[in-house]
């Protein structure tokens, strides 16, 4: 009996070791605990001595694996499927830019082999491992099949996961898998909808601020223009870089963030780049041009000081250099300034106090400073909200928050708040509603 169990476990270990393309899944913590559990079970099967340390070893290993798979929010089979969809390997990389019929035969054969292995291993999950342990005479906590949380997944990913769940031969889904890689990418680009550039690499944002279109009130003309430009970009046309300029608190950033929620199922991704990282924009562009998704580089509160030269890197991305501009990338920036570089009266040319250190052609420098904003194809202006728009935003947010007050009372409180705080703006309206909601709850 123990020999049969040991041989069965050994065959699973051999199958894991035979992976050709999807070996990178083994680097995940959940896979590591799974491999260690198989190793511990195989060791115990050598002697079956219930008093040996090997028994304790496999029980500890089972507990670690159980915690690891439970932490993912998926059952074992669904977890294995998702590892296939997110794996960044030579096959998934090639499939992003190559039709199925044009993929190398050796690559397709290796992919089919790995799909067979992973399908087999996906069936060696909770119930199977419980059976093995009970065969050793131990009784672990009865395995209850975890209910996988699919709400986090994009529509395309959910659809393909369901197909994997329903078929008993994963190799038949190779065309669908190639199509998925082609449209959704692989690795980090299919795991996340939003990214930030941090310390020289792209970092996925697990919990992005998903602003819905219904959350936006006012500035309809600006919103329609921004969405129309983004639609054209996603449809394969040349979209324009956009500068959203205007008063603080008018919802410029929220409008850009809303695009991620609206278009994530069409392959749109947002990459947040801080002002002090703008020098890395050409590097970021070279990374993004190699993947199939469409990207918006989002720079919030954009402006430059006199001594900063980061704007030159931005100009390269906006207008290009010897390298062709990526056709899957646009820059959307928000700013409180129409002219993005700080100007001084001393910058303007004067014939007074001429010296050898004064610039011969000062107007050229002045024009360079003023021309950066002109490199954005679209400039959307957001003026300070008037009272009508401000109160409209307040009423919308109050309704969404479930605040039940007479309209006159709500308006009166909102205007008082704006007077005492930061003026009439969308940001002020949200702050007022947050305060009012808490205040009303505590008085009940």
Taking only the tens place, the pLDDT of each residue in 261-270 is: 889 888 899 9
Do 350 and 420 have their domain in common?
no
How far apart (Å, rounded) are the C-alpha atoms in residues 285 and 317? Answer: 7
Check if the beta carbon of residue 191 is closer than 8 Å to that of residue 25: no
How far apart (Å, rounded) are the C-alpha atoms in residues 431 and 296? Answer: 28
The listed range with the strongest mean pLDDT (36-40, 219-223, 231-235, 381-385) is 231-235
Q: What is the mean pLDDT of residues 203-223?
A: 83
Q: What is the mean pLDDT of residues 75-103?
A: 92
Which residue from 48, 12, 36 is spatially nearest to 136, judged by alpha carbons?
48
In the listed set 382, 398, 431, which residue is the last one of a domain according to the structure?
A: 382
pLDDT of residue 376: 80
Mean model confidence pLDDT for the chain:
82
Is residue 194 included in any domain, yes or no? Answer: no
Check which CATH number belongs to the domain holding 217 and give it. 3.40.50.300
How far apart (Å, rounded) are the C-alpha atoms in residues 426 and 434? Answer: 12
How far apart (Å, rounded) are the C-alpha atoms in residues 382 and 230? Answer: 18
Residue 251 is part of which domain span? Answer: 204-382
pLDDT of residue 49: 65
Do 182 and 330 have their domain in common?
no
Is residue 199 included in any domain, yes or no? Answer: no
Which comes out higher in pLDDT, residue 355 or 135? Answer: 135
Domain count across the chain = 3
Which comes out higher in pLDDT, residue 374 or 133? Answer: 133
In the listed set 155, 188, 221, which residue is the last one of a domain according to the structure?
A: 188
pLDDT digits over 312-344, tens only? 677 777 776 545 678 899 999 888 765 555 554
Is residue 197 included in any domain, yes or no? Answer: no
Do 319 and 377 have their domain in common?
yes
pLDDT of residue 397: 86
How far apart (Å, rounded) are the C-alpha atoms in residues 61 and 133? Answer: 12
Is residue 180 included in any domain, yes or no? Answer: yes
Do 366 and 425 have their domain in common?
no
**Portion of the chain with pLDDT greater than 70, in percent:** 83
Q: What is the mean pLDDT of residues 201-225?
A: 84
Q: What is the mean pLDDT of residues 283-309?
A: 81
Check if the beta carbon of residue 110 is closer than 8 Å to that of residue 21: yes
In the listed set 164, 188, 212, which residue is the last one of a domain according to the structure?
A: 188
Do 211 and 174 have their domain in common?
no
Do 233 and 356 have their domain in common?
yes
Do 244 and 350 have their domain in common?
yes
Do 71 and 212 have their domain in common?
no
Is residue 195 included in any domain, yes or no? Answer: no
Do 353 and 267 have their domain in common?
yes
Is residue 75 included in any domain, yes or no? Answer: yes
Do 84 and 182 have their domain in common?
yes
pLDDT at 368 over 60: no
Do 408 and 300 have their domain in common?
no
Which comes out higher in pLDDT, residue 98 or 352? Answer: 98
Do 174 and 225 have their domain in common?
no
pLDDT of residue 366: 46
pLDDT of residue 345: 47
Which residue from 303, 317, 325 is spatially nearest to 369, judged by alpha carbons?
303
């Amino acid at each position: 009996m123990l020999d049969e169990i040991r041989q069965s476990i050994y065959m699973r270990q051999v199958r894991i070791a035979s992976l050709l393309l999807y070996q990178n899944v083994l680097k995940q913590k959940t896979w590591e605990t799974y491999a260690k559990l198989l190793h511990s079970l195989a060791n115990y099967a050598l002697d079956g001595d219930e008093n040996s340390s090997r028994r304790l070893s496999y029980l500890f290993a089972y507990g670690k694996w159980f915690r690891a798979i439970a932490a993912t929010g998926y059952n074992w089979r669904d977890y294995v499927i998702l590892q296939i969809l997110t794996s960044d390997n030579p096959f998934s990389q090639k499939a992003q830019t190559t039709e199925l019929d044009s993929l190398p035969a050796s690559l397709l054969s290796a992919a089919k082999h790995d799909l067979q292995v992973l399908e087999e291993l996906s069936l060696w999950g909770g119930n199977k491992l419980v059976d093995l342990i009970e065969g050793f005479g131990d009784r672990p906590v009865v395995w209850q099949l975890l209910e996988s949380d699919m709400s986090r997944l994009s529509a395309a990913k959910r659809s393909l996961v369901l197909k994997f769940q329903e078929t008993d031969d994963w190799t038949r889904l190779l065309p669908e898998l190639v199509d998925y890689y082609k449209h959704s990418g692989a690795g980090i680009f299919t795991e996340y909808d939003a990214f930030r550039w941090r310390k020289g690499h792209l970092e996925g944002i697990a919990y992005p601020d998903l602003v819905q279109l219904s959350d936006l009130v006012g500035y309809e003309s600006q919103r329609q223009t921004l969405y129309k430009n983004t639609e054209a970009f996603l449809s394969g046309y040349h979209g324009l870089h956009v500068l959203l300029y205007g008063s603080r608190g008018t919802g410029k950033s929220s409008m850009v963030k809303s695009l991620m929620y609206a278009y994530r199922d069409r392959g749109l991704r947002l990459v947040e780049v801080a002002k002090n990282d703008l020098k890395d924009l050409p590097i970021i562009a070279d990374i993004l041009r190699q993947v199939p998704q469409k990207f918006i580089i989002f720079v919030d509160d954009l402006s430059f000081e006199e001594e900063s030269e980061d704007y030159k890197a931005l100009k390269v991305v906006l207008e290009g250099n010897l390298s062709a501009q990526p056709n899957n990338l646009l820059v959307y920036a928000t700013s409180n300034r129409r002219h993005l570089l700080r100007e001084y009266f001393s910058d303007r040319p004067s014939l007074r106090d001429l010296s050898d250190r004064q610039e011969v052609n000062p107007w050229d420098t002045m024009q360079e400073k003023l021309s950066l904003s002109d490199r954005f194809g679209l400039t959307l202006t957001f003026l300070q909200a008037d009272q009508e728009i401000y109160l409209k935003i307040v009423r919308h947010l109050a309704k969404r928050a479930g605040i039940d007050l007479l309209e006159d009372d709500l308006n009166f409180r909102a205007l008082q708040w704006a007077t005492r705080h930061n003026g009439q703006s969308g940001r002020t309206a949200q702050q007022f509603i947050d305060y009012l909601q808490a205040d009303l709850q505590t008085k009940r």
